[in-house]
Every structure is written in C-alpha cells, then in structure tokens.
C-alpha cells in the first residue's frame, strides 16, 4: 500500500507552528484524541492565527468524527471571532451544511468565503464548495430521491459554472474543479461548459501508449455529444448516447444526472453513494473504537442485495450472491471493490477501472509479471484517506499479481507540485520553509527520527526545481512547461511510487511470502527510491507525519530514517555542506538524487545479496 500526502493541504492549517502542527500530525496518524489535545492547547495560544486554526480544526473533528454539529458550529464561531483566515472557516461551515443537506445555506457560506478570500488557495476552496452545494443538491434529488426544495436557483448555478470555468482555465487537468464543472454544467444545461469539464478531467492521460484504455476514444465521443446537451430539451437519442459515453468514461454521477428516471445507471449511482456513506460511517466509528469489521461487510452485502434486482436483465433476475455482484458490476461498469486490511485497518476500496496493461517488474535480478490497473471514479479509498480529509490518500496497492494505481491521487500530486512553483506561492513557500527549518532543528534535537516539515518541503521544492530546470535544458518553452511538467511528473511518480514500490511487494510475495507487513513496506519503500529517476519528488510518502507510529508504514518509515542517519554519518565526507556535529535528518536535502539512491540500496537485503 502506498500513502500519498498532497503537496498542498486541503482544509488543514497553513500555520506551521508547533501545537497546530502536532495536532495535524496526530490526525495523519489517526490519533484523534491526541489531535484534540493539541488543538485545544493551541486554541488558548496568544497568537490569533493559531487560535483560528485550532478552533477550525476542532470544529472539523467535532462534526466529521463525533457528529456533534452544534459543537462544531461553536468552534467555527470562535474561529470567525478571531477575524483571521475567515474564508477557510466559512468553507468548513459550507462543508458541514452540505453534510446536513442544507444546500442553500452551504452555498451562502461558500459564496461569503469566496468574497473573503485573500489568495488563490482560499478562493479555489470556496468555489469548490459553492459547486458542491449545487451538485450535491441535484444528485441527492435525482439519485437518492431526497426532497428537492433546497436547491440553489438558476442564477447561482450559472455563477458556479462561470467560476469553475475560470479555475479550469487557470489550472487545466485538476480533478476536483474539472469534475464539478462537468456536473454543474450538466445541471445548467450548458453543453459547451460540460465539454470543457470532461476534457480537463482526463487531460492528464491514464497511462502510456501501451495502456489498454477506452478513455481517449470515449472523450473524443463526448466532445461530439456534450455540446448538444441542453438539459431536458435534449433529444432522447442524444441523451441515451451521452449516458452510455459518460458511463464508459466512469463518470457515473454525471451519467446519472443525464439519464432518464428509472435508468440502470441511476440505480448504480445510488448504490455507489450508499456504499460511500456506509464506508465513511464505519471509518468514523472504527477510529473511535466503536466499529466492527462485520459492520462494513454487512453494509456491502445489504447494499449489493438491494441493487441486484434494480439492474437491467434480459429475462428473470438471477439469484443473488455477493460474488456474482462483483463480477456483474465489473462487466457493466468496470467496478473494482476490495475489502481487507490496508495500513493496519480493515477498510474498503471501491472505484472503476479506466486502464490496464501487463507489466514485468525487474529489481536486482528478480522478476515478477503483474497486471497493472489504473482506477478512477473513486467511491471510497480506504479508512486512512477518509481520516486525512483531502490532505492525502492511498495512491495504490498490490494484491497477488495485480498492482493498482489510484489515478486522481497522482494527478492531484503532480498538478499541485506544479502549481506550487507559481511566483506568488514560491514566496510564501520560502517563508514557510524558513520557519519550518528552524523548527526542524528543535524537533531533531529531541527526536532524531521525527517528522520534519521543513525537510519534507525542501525535498519537494528541490525535486520540483530540478525537474523544471531539466525540462528547460531539453528545450521545453515556458509556454508549454506546465503541461509537460505535469505529464512527466505523473510518469515519474507512477514508475517509482507504484511500479517500483508495489512491484517490490509482488517480488517479495513470490520470494518471501511470510514477510511481516512492516518488513514488506520497508523493502517496498527502499525500492521506491532506489529505482526512482528523481527521488526527491517522491520522498513525501516516506518523510511523512506517520514516522514511528504503530502502522506498518509508520514503523517502516522509522527504520528508513534510522538507516539514512547511519548512511549520512558513514559518508559525511561525500555530502557537500554536511555538518557532522549537528543532527543528520535536517540536512537530508543536501543529498543528491544519486546519493539518496545509494543510501536506500545500502539498506536493502535484496541489493546486498552476493553477486549484486
């Protein structure tokens, strides 16, 4: 299993101070009680910024983890009273209102957040919540048969489409705004804008030329069909073709908005939304020590049992049994659903296959043939992804001879890496790195293998800059640099973080199937960097807040940190600028890509075998 923190936080505080940071790290480790303690302490701080961030995070925890919505509003009110980072707090009030089905109220909060936004990050967050207030209301009414009285009016829908078009033009290919634009434009009956949303959503390709995928051909078909979409006035034949194409593109919720009442895809979309709610409620209860594994399994069986007779059959409905559902949904919709232990937790991954190919993984003279599968249309991406709440997610996993890549995670990581290179953001980034780096030294003095936010940011910055410089030297113009950067970064991340990492799991399963989960993750992380073309870009899954926690990933990351310290001390004379009398890990970014690869190989039992 690969964990991927996003380069830019979603709702989490950008105030990089010790107590707020400690609370955020605790949430990354799924330690809810420790997070609450840290945020409560930060809420008593003399700094207005820290109090605002802490109260906002306490509000998020109250409604997401405890369903204490009244208490959440008290915390959000306290955050607003500070008059600091108002837009971020209003966005959270909008999210809460959406979860309660108060869509007009949510739209109002989000629109206020847009007006209060002082930078592009806050504005984007506000616009996305405006969009979700519109699209969730429509989906709830169309798919879930919820009352439709709380919809935004047509003027609000039109304003959302306009704002989303602006976001997509600013950053083409970014998943959230592209998806929301498609949905909002379908609601508005704006076929041209819907075309822009679909094109942008799959702008970053599913894979290389060897990938077997219907997506490029399907998007080409949608480019012909979507402009003719005019809502309920669209011809029945055009509507049917559009539903089929959107379904093939695995844009299931969009297909449900277009389909006529009673259509199979609406029943399936309702099933997907039910599965998401079931999984999220189980995750919430599990993290509070109240959930049982059987709750999730039973929820899946009940939902699939209810869906079975609502599917379209040529004759009598066949007898239901769970294995038949999985096979049938895979055939009709490309569904992939897995229940099992990931990251130390029993959870569910449910999504839709958009591409597949056969790959042969070769490492240190050992080979494994695997099916490489790319998924999108995510329904649920596991317990940890839900707990991280847009601050990261599972990027992929391996089961037997199959490797799975979660495409939206990689697209967002590559695009956010590029977006962070913007001149205005780089100025903020440098200021944040400077303050975080001071904190790093203090943290490393008390804990030599602690997560160091400054180190993580420096590695990301240096890796990004090195790739940009390389592309410029290769003749890429500034006009096309962004699109080329995202495409190349996506490939680099896929080959190291999925193919090398998950491929090592496949090799180890063949050679040493009895390895412990911790040992498996340790070896996979070693391969991830040892076989990376640009290690610094993909180090974020290792220099991670979970270092040293009780999960297999956390324990493996701790072992990696100890190994890096030993290697740096043993090779101090080779590392330019290294201070031998200071803690090692704050100086990790001094290592070159080649030195990082050497350091990781030095820890790998497979690389150290005789003859290697």
Span 307-350, pLDDT tens digits: 999 999 999 999 999 889 999 999 999 999 999 998 889 999 99
Instruction: Please state at what angle helix 501-511 crosses helix 517-530, rounded to 10 degrees.
Output: 130
pLDDT tier, 4 (very low <50, low <70, confident <90, very high otherwise): low
Structure tokens at 243: 């539903």
Distance (Å, whole) CA 263 – CA 312: 9
State the pLDDT at residue 5.
Answer: 62
List, in order, residues 6 or more apart from 220 with CB less than 8 Å away: none
Of 501, 498, 517, the closest CA to residue 556 belongs to: 517
Stretch among 294-298, 377-381, 428-432 having the lowest mean pLDDT: 428-432
Mean of pLDDT values over 113-135? 97
Asked if residue 145 has pLDDT above 60, the reply is yes
State the pLDDT at residue 223.
Answer: 98
Taken as a whole, the chain contains a residue count of: 612
Asked if residue 607 has pLDDT above 90, the reply is yes
pLDDT tier, 147 (very low <50, low <70, confident <90, very high otherwise): confident
Asked if residue 10 has pLDDT above 70, the reply is no
pLDDT tier, 295 (very low <50, low <70, confident <90, very high otherwise): very high
Mean of pLDDT values over 159-188? 98
Asked if residue 437 has pLDDT above 80, the reply is yes
The share of the chain scoring above pLDDT 90, in percent, equals: 86
pLDDT tier, 203 (very low <50, low <70, confident <90, very high otherwise): very high
State the pLDDT at residue 8.
Answer: 38
Distance (Å, whole) CA 414 – CA 45: 36
Distance (Å, whole) CA 486 – CA 475: 16
Asked if residue 15 has pLDDT above 70, the reply is no
State the pLDDT at residue 270.
Answer: 98
State the pLDDT at residue 406.
Answer: 96
Mean of pLDDT values over 136-140? 96
Asked if residue 73 has pLDDT above 80, the reply is yes
Asked if residue 422 has pLDDT above 90, the reply is no
More confident residue, 85 or 16: 85
Mean of pLDDT values over 397-415? 94
Asked if residue 520 has pLDDT above 50, the reply is yes
pLDDT tier, 14 (very low <50, low <70, confident <90, very high otherwise): very low
DSSP string of 105-139? HHHHHHHHHHHH--SHHHHHHHHHHHHHHHHHHHH
Asked if residue 17 has pLDDT above 60, the reply is no
- pLDDT, one tens digit per residue, over 448-486 is 999 999 999 999 999 999 999 999 999 999 999 999 999
Mean pLDDT in the chain?
94
Q: What is the pTM of this model?
A: 0.93
Instruction: Please state at what angle helix 453-473 crosses helix 478-493, rounded to 10 degrees.
Output: 120
pLDDT tier, 22 (very low <50, low <70, confident <90, very high otherwise): confident
The share of the chain scoring above pLDDT 70, in percent, equals: 96
Instruction: Output the CA torsion 414→419→420→426 (10° steps).
Output: 150
Coil/strand/helix, residue 336:
strand
State the pLDDT at residue 11.
Answer: 37
pLDDT tier, 612 (very low <50, low <70, confident <90, very high otherwise): low
Distance (Å, whole) CA 194 – CA 185: 5
DSSP string of 275-306? HHHHHHHHHHHHHTT---HHHHHHHHHHHHHH
Asked if residue 2 has pLDDT above 70, the reply is no
State the pLDDT at residue 9.
Answer: 40
Distance (Å, whole) CA 225 – CA 67: 42
Angle at 35 between CA 33 and CA 41, to 5 degrees: 105
């Amino acid at each position: 299993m690969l964990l991927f923190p996003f380069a830019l936080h979603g709702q989490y505080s950008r105030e990089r101070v010790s107590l707020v940071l400690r609370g955020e790290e605790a949430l990354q480790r799924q330690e809810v009680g420790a997070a609450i303690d840290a945020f409560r302490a930060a809420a008593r701080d003399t700094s207005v910024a820290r109090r605002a961030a802490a109260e906002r995070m306490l509000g998020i925890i109250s409604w997401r983890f405890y369903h204490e919505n009244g208490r959440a509003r008290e915390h959000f009110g306290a955050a607003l009273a500070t008059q600091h980072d108002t837009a971020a707090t209003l966005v959270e009030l909008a999210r809460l209102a959406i979860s309660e089905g108060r869509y007009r109220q949510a739209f109002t909060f989000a629109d206020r957040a847009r007006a209060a936004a002082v930078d592009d990050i806050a504005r984007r967050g506000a616009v996305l919540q405006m969009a979700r207030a519109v699209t969730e209301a429509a989906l709830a009414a169309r798919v879930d048969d919820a009352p439709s009285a709380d919809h935004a009016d047509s003027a609000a829908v039109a304003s959302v489409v306009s704002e989303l078009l602006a976001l997509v033009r600013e950053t083409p290919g970014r998943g959230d705004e592209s998806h929301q634009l498609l949905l909002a434009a379908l609601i508005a009956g704006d076929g041209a804008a819907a075309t822009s949303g679909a094109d942008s959503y799959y702008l970053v390709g599913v894979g290389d030329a060897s990938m077997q995928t219907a997506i490029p051909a399907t998007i080409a078909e949608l480019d012909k069909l979507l402009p003719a979409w005019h809502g309920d006035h669209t011809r029945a034949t055009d509507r049917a073709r559009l539903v089929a194409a959107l379904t093939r593109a695995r844009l299931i919720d969009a297909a449900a908005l277009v389909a006529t009442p009673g259509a199979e895809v609406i029943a399936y979309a309702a099933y997907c939304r039910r599965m998401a709610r079931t999984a999220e409620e189980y995750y919430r209860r599990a993290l509070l020590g109240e959930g049982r594994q059987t709750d999730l399994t039973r929820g899946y069986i009940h939902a699939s049992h209810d869906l079975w007779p609502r599917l379209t059959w040529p004759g009598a409905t066949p007898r239901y049994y769970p294995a038949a559902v999985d096979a049938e949904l895979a055939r009709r919709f490309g569904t992939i659903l897995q229940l099992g232990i990931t990251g130390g937790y029993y959870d569910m991954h449910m999504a839709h296959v958009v591409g597949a190919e056969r790959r042969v993984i070769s490492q240190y003279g050992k080979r494994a043939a695997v099916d490489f599968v790319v998924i999108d249309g995510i329904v649920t991406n596991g317990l940890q992804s839900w707990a991280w709440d847009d601050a990261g997610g599972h990027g992929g996993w391996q089961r037997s001879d199959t490797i799975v890549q979660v495409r939206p995670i990689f697209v967002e990581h590559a695009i956010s890496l590029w977006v962070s290179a913007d001149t205005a953001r780089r100025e903020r980034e440098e200021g944040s790195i400077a303050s975080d780096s001071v904190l790093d030294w203090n943290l490393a003095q008390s804990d030599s293998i602690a997560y160091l936010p400054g180190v993580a940011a420096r590695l990301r910055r240096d890796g990004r800059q090195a790739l940009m410089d390389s592309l410029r030297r290769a003749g890429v113009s500034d006009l096309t640099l962004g699109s080329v950067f995202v495409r190349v970064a996506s490939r680099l991340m896929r080959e190291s973080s999925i193919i090398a990492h998950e491929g090592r799991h496949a090799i180890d399963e063949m050679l040493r199937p009895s390895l412990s989960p911790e040992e498996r993750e340790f070896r996979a992380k070693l391969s991830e960097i040892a076989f990376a073309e640009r290690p610094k870009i993909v180090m974020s899954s290792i220099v991670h807040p979970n270092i040293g926690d009780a999960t297999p990933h956390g324990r493996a990351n701790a072992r990696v940190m100890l190994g890096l310290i030993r290697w740096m001390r043993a090779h101090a004379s080779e590392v330019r600028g290294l201070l031998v009398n200071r803690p090692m890990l704050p100086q990790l970014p001094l290592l070159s890509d080649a030195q990082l690869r050497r350091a990781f190989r030095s820890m790998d039992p497979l690389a150290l075998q005789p003859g290697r």
